[in-house]
Structure 1
Amino acid sequence: MNKPEFNDERPLIMHIDLNSCFATVEQQARPMLRGKPVGIANRRTDKTALITASYEAKKMGVKVGMKVRDAKVLCPDLVVIESDPSKYRYVYHCLLDIMKDYSAHVTMKSIDEGVIDFHDTTADIQGRDLVDIGMEIKQRLKDEIGVWMRCNIGIATNRFLAKQAAGLHKPDGLDVMTPANIREVLGSLKLTDLTGIAHRNERRLNSVGIYTPLEFLDADPVVLQRIVFKGVVGRWWYDRLRGWEVDDLETDIKRVGRQYVLESFHLTHEEIGQRLHHLCESVGSRMRSQHKAARGIYVYVKTVEGGYWHASTMMQLPFSSDQTIHMLAHRLFDNAPDGLKEIGIHCYELQPIENPQISLFNDHIIQERQVTDAMDGINKKYGERTIHSADTLGTGLYVKQKIPFGGTRYL
């Protein structure tokens, strides 16, 4: 039996988005900032890019990614605050705990947005109207975190449409998308308003005469698959727009890395090496938290003149300790040019960490693993970098932990 064109089941997917999350959290924590334009940056300098802007700032034209100096031209009263990851992690975990009260099937897409799948939750929860649950979650955010907290909620039959619904009426909306109103909703949007349709995909669609979301909805699946997207992705888009789930996928981690824009262009090679060592410790901790070891390591630098240098190496055996990562990275970095403005490292060719079998020939590997595990345990219990290399003493004043937008593995 062929499935119907549109998924007309009861909408049981809820997308929750704490829009302008970091700025809103700062306004919650500092009442004097409420109602004022606020921008969050990882470093409070005029050349730093904003990672979040409050709704008050957005109304003045301030956008994420804009340099602080440019944002202040548009909004002279902009209050720029250096990011405070501990606050944002706290709110992330509060939101996660609230969401888990309604279903065991919760997926956090980033630090400020997540999805609740109500398909296999309890009968009591399934018997409730999801709009009522959405309003309840909004109130719980205010009661359990603070009165200034707001979220956008979308409800639909799949993750894609639920996310689209959550973006319809910011900053505090709640919308449901169904086959009954999908044409009306899509008719109010542009192609680039659709999640996953940036300018490259927009050009692909334009090349076959598709200029609006409604034309996209009405497109022939064969055209989408064979001409526009040249593969199964075209069929996924056809189904996605009709409420069928194609995005319920878990992807394995491929690489772990960190980069750092130097706080000064006049640091010595040794001082830059200390900051690279700090990055190595951070990458090692992240990688081990996912129970992964690597076989490859890649180091890059960017110069003040705009140049790019990189080097990499592959090892026969996997590695995961901070000591080994630093040793390999340092060897590569010794050949880097001078006049640097940014450094970075990532480990790749990841695989699960395996416990080495005890033998006369790998006792040193076992000992290194035991020491590393003990250090990770202490840092987890008492805070990041409670134990770290003496070489990186003081680098934490500059190389601060950033909040990842693309995932929540390290939260």
Structure 2
Amino acid sequence: MELRYGINPGQAATAEPVVAGDWPVRVVNGEPSYINVLDALNGWQLVREASLGLGRVAAASFNHVSPAGAAVAGDLDEVAAGLYGVRGGGVGELTSAYLRARDADPKSSYGDFVAVSRPVDLELAEVLGGLVSDGIVAPGFEAGTVERLSRKKNGRFLVMEADQDFVPPREEMREVYGVRLTQERPEEAVGPAVAGEDLRLGMVVARYTQSNSVCYVRDGMTIGIGAGQQSRVDCTRLAGAKADIWWLRRHPKVSGLTFRDEVRRQERINWQVRWCEGDLTAYERERFDQALAEPAQELTSAERAEWIVRLDGVAFVSDGALPFRDNVDHAQRHGVRSIAEPGGSIRSDEVAKACSEYGITLTRTGVRLFHH
């Protein structure tokens, strides 16, 4: 398969199956780039594994080979439903799973690659028609959906179909700078030893997120993912800040922001996020005020703090062992009540002690989930 280009424009690139003719995905519309293929392969594996392990429809929103968000089907709250112009209790499982995944970090999901575990239906195709996305991978497409999706991006929207029956080779190979690396393919992350749907979903998400990675999960959806950080505690803090933003977007002063009719959906979302972050530049503040139909009610530091402490019932998953208790100290600030991590660090006793102090249930999985 000739690819549009490699990781960067100007780099010629191709893709071919390990076993001649045995493709895990096929192109239905559009022309993939190198990164598109990586997003499709990682995204499909994530939603397939999550759906099989949890018995529910799963979706993910990928950007730069890591999920910006992932979720299983469930209720959409009023904030998410309002932003995407749907009725929270009136959408199908596939649409709810994707919108819950996208709403985890909607700023990072701009121009995402969508992955869903069930064939695309007309409802999801219509919803995607109004969002900025680059492509989708799914195990099939109902009648009329490919035609609807192919109208996006002037016909360049990438549609890829996954083979549900594909069995990957036992060994995986990569060539870097003249060196060929070979390793066994890891076992699937979800297992019966881990109790709780949120922790199990978090393990699947961590497996397909660039390491170091952690994720915060609540009610079957990620609300904060930290990817690719050299320091694990930096990853924990980054993902925690995203979880706080997700929660602050539900504050009445934020969800109640009224924008001018001409302001597009993604702009409204971006302004909500920036307003929650609380550090608008003078230039941004001027543009923000211009985008509003009515002046914003200021969100004070006290109101912000009082709202954040209400966040509760959050699960936290780390792809590697927590090396210090500081990860627990930071995680508990974001409503974490359960943690899953491999264990085995030289300070594991300190990590366990911190969990006990905060009333956090700790699960040692014995499984490292690094992904590079």
Q: TM-score, normalised by structure 1?
A: 0.23
Larger Rg: 1
State TM-score, norm by structure 2: 0.25
